[in-house]
Amino acid sequence: MNGKFFVTTPIYYPSGKFHIGTAYTTVLADSIKRYHQLKGEDTYLLTGTDEHGQKIENKAEETGETPQEYVDRMAKMAKELWAKMEINYDDFIRTTEERHTKIVQKIFDRFMEQGDIYKGEYEGWYCIPCETYFTESQLVDGKCPDCGREVKKMKEEAYFFKMSKYADRLLKYYEEHPDFIKPEYRKNEMINNFIKPGLEDLCVTRTSFDWGIKVPKDPKHVVYVWLDALTNYITALGYLSDDDRLFKKYWPADLQIIGKDIARFHLIYWPIFLMALDLPIPKTILVHNWIVMKDGKMSKSKGNVIYPEELIDRYGLDPVKYFLLREMPVNQDGLFSPEAFVERYNFDLCNDLSNLVNRTVSMVNKYFDGKVPEYNGTPNEADKELEQYALKQIDAFDEKWNNYETANSIQEIWNLIARTNKYIDETMPWKLAKEEETEKLASCMYHLIENLRKIAILISPFMNDTAQNIFEQIGIKENDLKVWKNLKEYDRICNVKVIEKGNPIFMRLDTKEEIEYIKSIMK
Ligand code: MSP
């Protein structure tokens, strides 16, 4: 093993079906996990559901279920979606599980004992969907600054966490750990918008509803949903439990992935809670932007919601994952449009990738009876140039992927695909065959197969089924040839036979028809 990699997604509010935007975080986390697996690292991916709070209590009331029945049904739905999306998580934590609630109570007690939590009174403007109190000055046009909905004036006896005590330590931590927050501009947002103006103590209990973890020594209070939820990352690993082997092995997380709307909780409160517990802080928290539609945020009322299941049923899983990762820039929101989806499918997947596989396999069949020629050890100028280009692209992919610039890194793979297609046009194997340039033709076929092997490895973290399909079509069976270990080698393939009649991996879609179809499922 080369090392270990522990990655987490946020735990989801189970408030209905997840749309493709919500699925994005988990698809990204899963792909990053698979990439580290490919490199031979021991990996661990944690996800789950965030099941307490007033919002859930209200939802259950609407559906006529008890809150427990409601969250049970929702957690099942989430697991079914992740199974459909082949999300390879190692643990799914639910915040209503005893392994979590018991430890949250221990943590709360500890904070009380060490004086980080004290009792006071809270009065403010409360946004029920966001489960957050705001001060008058934080409201935007009298409404919630995060979601824009109505807020309610509320007052209650409450416990507070002394955030202010940790503000300087947090700033110092940011300064000394430049990799902690990615991309970097999110750090400046935190400093300028929240820390510099003065970090207020955080109200960490509620009495206005019941569906939460009870404060051990004062059970009319329930623990604020964010204090409850954030600790999932350590309770899932057995922190403070009888069996904390996973915690010892994996904490601190190498990477926590979150969407921009929950940055404040993860970049300010979470490291402060960890400091108060004397625990190490995750190495990196990656904040991604949102998938939005042409007319803005996805919402049922706008009739612009896309659910992953419906896209997967029609187009397969890999095109959906490809699209999500390929379309999300680092610094701004990624746009979903039916036109862009169909275009990516037809151009990137069908024209570029699928055709390359198809052309190559049929040429190896035609010119060498399906048997891939051996590497001749002395590549000619054109082949050498192709080799160098491929190696350069692998490094470019790797560097960008490790910096979590997924869209840019995937572009590097598609540059390699384009270059390999161009190599066919330039080398003109049909001409070499006609002129009986057998050695050149053999070397050309070898290089095409070798590049396809490399491409299949590179796409496997996010398009695993397609990668396996390519390996099968080009006759690669040995596991060692499907992972990172021999990725850069050029002389590994021997005794390999391509499939006799391979089916195209992706067939061209009728643009007009499919755009109409996607529009119809958005309504
Ligand atoms: N329950 C909290 C997280 C607690 S973590 C201790 C939560 N849940 S959520 O279900 O509302 O969101 C889950 C994730 O989906 C968040 O990272 C959120 O940013 C992300 N997304 C929700 N809509 C999204 C898009 N339209 N696009 C991309 N990500 C989106 O927040």
Per residue in 222-243, pLDDT (tens digit) is: 999 999 999 999 999 999 999 9
Ligand 1 pocket test target in 7, 9, 12 with most atoms within 8 Å of CB: 12
Whose alpha carbon is nearest atom 14 of ligand 1?
Answer: 22
Tell me: do 162 and 85 sit in the same domain: yes
Facing residues of 419 across strands?
none
- Split at pLDDT 50, 70, 90, the class of 360 is very high
Tell me: do 166 and 249 sit in the same domain: yes
Which atom of ligand 1 is the closest one to the Cα of 289?
A: 28
Tell me: do 182 and 320 sit in the same domain: no
Instruction: Let me know if residue 506 belongs to a domain.
Output: no
The verdict on the CB of residue 298 being under 6 Å from ligand 1 is yes
Tell me: do 201 and 269 sit in the same domain: yes
Which atom of ligand 1 is the closest one to the Cα of 270?
A: 6
Tell me: do 289 and 170 sit in the same domain: yes
Tell me: do 315 and 266 sit in the same domain: no
Once rounded to an integer, what is the mean pLDDT over residues 144-162?
Answer: 90
The verdict on the CB of residue 420 being under 6 Å from ligand 1 is no
The verdict on the CB of residue 290 being under 6 Å from ligand 1 is yes
Instruction: Let me know if residue 469 belongs to a domain.
Output: yes
Q: Output the domain CATH number for residue 334.
A: 1.10.730.10
The verdict on the CB of residue 25 being under 6 Å from ligand 1 is yes
Domain end point (choices 252, 269, 296): 296
Take residue 118 and report the two structure tokens written for it: 């004290």
CA 1/CA 77 separation, integer angstroms: 35
Once rounded to an integer, what is the mean pLDDT over residues 448-457?
Answer: 98
Mean pLDDT of the chain: 95
Tell me: do 51 and 176 sit in the same domain: yes
Tell me: do 289 and 316 sit in the same domain: no
Q: Output the domain CATH number for residue 201.
A: 3.40.50.620
Distance of CA 361 to the CA centre of its chain: 33
Tell me: do 37 and 84 sit in the same domain: yes
Tell me: do 401 and 461 sit in the same domain: yes
Q: How many Cβ atoms are within 10 Å of 289's Cβ, its own excluded?
A: 17
Q: Tally the domains of the chain.
A: 2
Tell me: do 169 and 247 sit in the same domain: yes
Once rounded to an integer, what is the mean pLDDT over residues 23-42?
Answer: 97
Domain end point (choices 296, 322, 342): 296
Tell me: do 318 and 454 sit in the same domain: yes
Domain end point (choices 244, 266, 296): 296
Instruction: Let me know if residue 505 belongs to a domain.
Output: no
CA 100/CA 103 separation, integer angstroms: 5
Tell how far the Cα of 69 is from the centroid of ligand 1, in angstroms.
22
CA 308/CA 313 separation, integer angstroms: 9
Instruction: Let me know if residue 494 belongs to a domain.
Output: no
Instruction: Let me know if residue 151 belongs to a domain.
Output: yes
Instruction: Identify the domain containing residue 217 by its residue range.
Output: 4-296
- Split at pLDDT 50, 70, 90, the class of 466 is very high
Which atom of ligand 1 is the closest one to the Cα of 261?
A: 19
Tell how far the Cα of 465 is from the centroid of ligand 1, in angstroms.
26
Backbone phi, then psi, for 111, in 5-degree steps? Answer: -60, -40
Pairing outcome for strands 202-203 and 222-223: unpaired
Tell how far the Cα of 264 is from the centroid of ligand 1, in angstroms.
13
CA 2/CA 130 separation, integer angstroms: 41
Instruction: Let me know if residue 520 belongs to a domain.
Output: no
